[in-house]
Structure 1
Amino acid sequence: MKHDLELQVNKTNNLSEGKTATQSRTATCFPPCGPDKVIDGDRETCAKDVGIGKGSSVKSIWWTVDLGSKHSIYSISIYFKDYKEYGDFELRQRGRFAGFSLYISNTQKKEDGYLCYKNTLPLPPLEFNTTCIEHGRYVIYYNERLDGVTYPGEYQIQSIYTELCEVKVEGCGKGFHGNNCNTPCPINCQEQRCSIVNGTCFDCTQGYAGEMCEKKCESGFYGLECKRQCKGHCIRNTPCNHVTGNCDEGCAAGWIGMQCDQ
């Protein structure tokens, strides 16, 4: 999906803090670590996955946050574990995280979603940010070290521990879009959710269609996405209600019921 990437959003909401996070596997660590530590607003607490790569039976890892419902996303920031208190491990850490991907999806499967970022070279900084203008419910971090694949020399290929300390997903809250997140979504957007870029609706409420859900269903159709067809037995061949499918003015002779289908 293409978007106008020139949009500069000046005011966004943290959509991920305090939500529900999961990961493929959790390593044993002290102090306790886990997927929820990545969205607690504290960069000192982290998640740690089991090691992948050469010599490990595990070849890929994932971490995901459930935003609770579809949101209009603008950017994603990641703070990786740096180990500054123990010495200079920056290049090692950057090499471990190298090659990671970020997906936006409406399911917990990255294959169902949209790839919004793929790292190659240079190595990612330990404080990372990318613009990712998309909408969805799940943000998925993924990385792998597969057998038989030749990776760049800068990549770490053995004992790849993924330690995410904070992931911040930013965008507009429900019902708003625009560069200050203060423009209301069109009134007929389903659940008042629309694109952060141009206000186009993700889905329409019953009886409406169009990018802004500004159009009533064509005569003879009704319901979600205007896919349902009227029964055709309304009085004087009048069209049914574009939202409910009912014959508001009554039925033709010989028919009864709200939709004149009996």
Structure 2
Amino acid sequence: MYFYPCLLYVAGLLVAFAYDDISYKRVASQSHTIIGLGNEASNAVDRKTSTCMRTLPIGRNNPQKTVWWKVDLGGVYNIQSINMLFKNYDGYEDRQRGRFAGFSLYVSNTGVIQGSRLCYKNGPHDHLPPLNFTAICPESGRYVIFYNERYAGVTYPTGFELENVFTELCEVIVKGCRNTGYYGRNCDSPCPTNCKDSTCHIQSGACFMCKPGWTDIHCNKKCGDGWYGLNCSQQCKGHCRDGATCNHVTGQCDKGC
């Protein structure tokens, strides 16, 4: 089953240059590496387009069926876009595009796909992805993960390469705000005070989640009377003194019972 997030994506480096490159020379890893020098995961974040990572092939008749590559940004940052430059061979562009077709991009705080946010999914109704690809991805997270698969018994769209599907990423450029807790085209606007983990939408400043006790888009409203905690989802219990409501953050009676 394919999932199609409603996201804008464009080919090439069509990103705002005011945003910071937050993936340069960060720690990268991959699911498997083809034997030989010069195929390491770190090649995709060295800003040298002549060096590329390379994995073992995946395919219906290959031992490997899935592949992933990820970069650890070193902290939780507000992200704006992810640009990927895939390796090309003169005269074989369609083959290379077919190899990368169907890939997914995730943003994660833990480094594993489970529980991550899907940023982009190349599906059967999309064109084959360009070899210089940018996904607009206003998320926050510590890891960016590339994933692809080729399973036996699955019908893939026309144009998808099905055997000996090598993954060769030459550069992955994650753009965002290097200063944690900031957003805006120049990364100079602080996220609202009550945003959880000091992260917010890099363009609008809207909080992804609120700290306990707060609600609304910018987390500037207290929980309603009688409610407290994360997402204002917990109801006050007991009898606070003078009929007061409980603390909107802790749920306790500040003036006693």
* Structure 1 partner of 2:184: 178
1:211 aligned to 2:217?
A: yes
* Structure 2 partner of 1:131: 136
1:46 Cα deviation (Å)?
2.4
Calculate percent identity across the aligned residue pairs: 44
Q: CA RMSD in A?
A: 3.1
* Structure 1 partner of 2:121: 117
Q: Are 1:220 and 1:232, in contact at CA under 8 Å, matched by a contact in 2?
A: no
Secondary structure, aligned partner of 1:73? strand
Which has the bigger relative contact order, CA under 8 A and spacing at least 6?
2
Q: Relative to structure 2, which stretch is displaced further, 135-144 or 46-55?
A: 135-144
Secondary structure, aligned partner of 1:38? helix
1:46-85 map, 5 Å: 46-82=52-88
* Structure 1 partner of 2:99: 96
1:151 Cα deviation (Å)?
4.5
* Structure 1 partner of 2:174: 169
Q: Distance in 2 between matches of 1:56 and 1:207?
A: 52
Q: Distance in 2 between matches of 1:40 and 1:177?
A: 25
Secondary structure, aligned partner of 1:37? helix
**In structure 2, do the counterparts of structure 1 residues 210 and 126 end up closer, same or farther at CA, with 3 Å as the change threshold?**
same
Q: Are 2:102 and 2:121, in contact at CA under 8 Å, matched by a contact in 1?
A: no
TM-score by length of 2: 0.78
Secondary structure, aligned partner of 1:191? helix
Q: Are 1:60 and 1:142, in contact at CA under 8 Å, matched by a contact in 2?
A: yes
Q: Are 1:102 and 1:118, in contact at CA under 8 Å, matched by a contact in 2?
A: no
1:15 aligned to 2:17?
A: no
Q: Distance in 1 between matches of 2:158 and 2:6?
A: 33
Secondary structure, aligned partner of 2:201? coil
**In structure 2, do the counterparts of structure 1 residues 170 and 226 end up closer, same or farther at CA, with 3 Å as the change threshold?**
same
Q: Distance in 2 between matches of 1:63 and 1:74?
A: 19
Secondary structure, aligned partner of 1:93? helix
Q: Distance in 1 between matches of 2:149 and 2:103?
A: 7
1:189 Cα deviation (Å)?
0.9
1:207 Cα deviation (Å)?
2.2
1:127 Cα deviation (Å)?
2.3
Partner amino acid, structure 2, of 1:190: K
Q: Are 2:7 and 2:120, in contact at CA under 8 Å, matched by a contact in 1?
A: no
Q: How many residues align?
A: 245
**In structure 2, do the counterparts of structure 1 residues 71 and 3 end up closer, same or farther at CA, with 3 Å as the change threshold?**
farther
Which blocks of at least 5 consecutive residues in structure 1 are unaligned?
A: 253-262
1:143 aligned to 2:148?
A: yes
1:165 Cα deviation (Å)?
1.8
Q: Are 1:177 and 1:183, in contact at CA under 8 Å, matched by a contact in 2?
A: yes
**In structure 2, do the counterparts of structure 1 residues 239 and 118 end up closer, same or farther at CA, with 3 Å as the change threshold?**
same
1:169 Cα deviation (Å)?
1.4
Secondary structure, aligned partner of 2:138? strand
Q: Distance in 2 between matches of 1:59 and 1:142?
A: 11
- Give per-residue Cα distances to partners, 1:33-77, cap 9 Å, x unaligned: 322332233333322111122531222212122334544322111
